[in-house]
Structure 1
Amino acid sequence: MAGRRRKNTVAGSKKESPKTQNTLQETNVSTDKEATKADVKKQAEDVNEKKTADAKIVEDKKVQTETKAADATVKKATTATEKKTTVLKQTASKTETNKKADAPKKRGRKPGSKNKPKEQLAPEVYLQYCGEEADQNAIIERIKEQYVSEGHRAGNIKSLKLYLKPEDRAAYYVINDRYAGKVDLF
């Protein structure tokens, strides 16, 4: 047995030559480098994805904060305008109450009351001469008819002066202090 070599039965206890150890280490290193490169690429991709996701989240947060800020400014503006309108209404009501207190009370009929004012007296005028009679309203209607037949409008009449002259059997008139004419009295 002295010439024989002993075999180690324990795994991994074999001694390998230094060259094989170097090549094994180189392959392990190269595989480690490849693995680390792949890991680095994966990590870089993960980081890029995280950055884009974070950027999206940040953008969403910016949009949300901008909308919140815009909503807040709109709310502030509306509350400010509401406050201004209430202040204006209050000052207007105060000035109205001051005016009401300062103004003397008006006498007479209030709007919507049941007591209606009396209508003014509209007399009916009749002219009698030598057994004939003329009514004032009938004379005024003849004057209007003549005025319209001459090309004027009846709505343009603002004032009417009427002169009755029974001895001439005529009624003279002046409309709006410009136009004068004559109609038969009877």
Structure 2
Amino acid sequence: MASKSKKSTNADISATVRDILNTGVEDTKKVAEGVKKETEKVKMATAKAAAETKAKAEEKKTEVKAKVEEKNAEAEKKTAPKKAEAKKTSTAATKTVAAAKATTKKAGAAVRKAAAAAKESAEAKAQEPRVIVQYQGNDYYLDEILKNAKKAYSKKSKKVFKDLRVYIKPEEGKAYYVADDNFGSVDL
């Protein structure tokens, strides 16, 4: 009779773990969708900022070119000593164009940093709930058990599994997994 009670308890634990894992998978999908949406928003904002920065740089470049051409025309009208001064102005304009390009690069880097920060923020918001099984004074973290089972399967097989089931047996100090009809175990 004790054997039936133990089997019933094991079945209840297995059912509970299965329910918890299924809930975790659903929550993970929701979080992944949220992260994907946030990433898309960041990508769109990045593209918009890059386009605006590029347009401003082109506008500035056109202005600088117009100024350079204007200065060159004036320099040709003046005498030879004035030509040297026009050349300096042209060099300054070229430096201004280079500075505008550098500013564009810096703006792009700032946009990429902002995108990375937004992604990290979205990931920080998307923390998964932790499920802990307590048995005879020991704590077993289900997310760590699942991660260890995935690692163990990855070491055995280089394939990505389609179906993974984990059965926890705290009285044995083991978690047994079945991944695509391949089985193994990990220590708790």
Q: TM-score, normalised by structure 1?
A: 0.32
Larger Rg: 1
Structure number with the higher helix fraction is: 2
